[in-house]
Amino acid sequence: MLTETLCEDDRWQAAGLDRLAERAALATLRHLGFDPEAFEIAVLGCDDTRIAVLNADFRDKPRATNVLSWPSEDLAADEAGEAPFAPEPDLEGEPHHLGDLALAYDTCAREAAEQHKPESDHVTHLLVHGVLHLLGYDHIRDADATLMEGFEVEILGNLGLKDPYREIDGPHGS
């Protein structure tokens, strides 16, 4: 397994976070040409209270958010819009730990409802987004955001999901 999932909030088990995380991580790594068997990712499914504490501790933002990521190494590109540096698999045959992700159930469910999309689609998008962060992608600089969002749209499209950045026209999308 590429992902190891811990559900602190039981609602994540009912939502199938372990299955969604594995699917999203596999799709992301394969799309970028990486062998998923060479890597591992830890995923925490929690609630808004827990993620607010994590967000305060690690980002000085004492509020809930949808997803947080902690890359095991800084792979960010030096120049805006360039691909990040590739992670190097461990030489001893053990999977290389790319980092950790945390998702807040309450925020994810609320955002999915506001965007009139299935929770599983929204969570899959956030997982792809988080895995891209672990691989050094970011969206602070405009050129980096364009690159990252382009990959998100491609990966989600390969999974049969709609472009999350396109306007939604109604309760069931356009």
- Binding residue ranges for Zn(2+): 129, 133, 139
Q: How far apart are CA 112 and CA 171, in angstroms?
A: 11
Largest CA distance in the chain: 51
Kindly state the tokens that stand for 29.
């790594």
Q: Binding site: what residues are annotated?
A: 129, 133, 139
The torsion angle over the Cα atoms of residues 127, 122, 77 and 63, rounded to 10 degrees, is -90
For 81, list phi and psi in degrees, rounded to 5.
85, -5
Q: How do 96-104 and 67-71 pair as beta strands?
A: antiparallel
